[in-house]
Amino acid sequence: MQIPNRTTLDESTYLVTVLTDPASPNQTCTVTADSGTVYGDNVSTVSINCVTNTYTIGGVVTGLFTDNSVTLQNNNGDNLTMDANSNFTFATALDDGSTYTVTVLTQPETIIQTCTVINGDSTLAGIDVESVHIDCGNTSPWAMFLPAILNIKP
């Protein structure tokens, strides 16, 4: 980033600020040595540092049987094991503009249950993602009867 040349009278004060942070990707910029007084020479100590904003990926697990668990991954890492129906957020935030892909790494151990990912991949666009849905359903046509037979609580 280049700061335009401005002529300032000797012994006058200056203050440099960021008017608008970059938006694609979203970044936050800070100014170092942002103010001072001009003393007979050009000011060369001002610097601007911009860092890409990060956002989290999350959602909700539904339909998981009691005493069961499912392990999720984001972008082939950041494993997260869920052992209850609830909201979740992966630990690692990602840079704005990057892609994410949520997958099921390990299915529940109960043979009658399989979890699928809904809304699991996209590109970050300036906000945390909370719309990933992990739907853990029954895989057998007779599965609706098995929880009662096996004494498993949905």
pLDDT tens, position by position, 13-65: 989 999 999 998 999 999 999 999 988 888 889 999 999 999 999 999 999 99
Same domain for 27 and 66? Answer: no
Please tell me whether residue 146 adopts helix, strand or coil conformation: helix
Q: 64 lies in which domain range?
A: 54-150
Q: What length does the chain have?
A: 154
Same domain for 97 and 123? Answer: yes
pLDDT tens, position by position, 59-82: 999 999 988 999 999 999 999 999
- Domains identified in the chain, total number: 2
pLDDT tens, position by position, 109-120: 876 789 999 999
Cβ–Cβ under 8 Å, residues 154 and 135: no
Q: How many helices and strands, by DSSP H and E, does the chain display?
A: 1, 14
Helix spans in the chain (H) = 146-150
Same domain for 46 and 59? Answer: no
Same domain for 66 and 137? Answer: yes
Same domain for 87 and 34? Answer: no
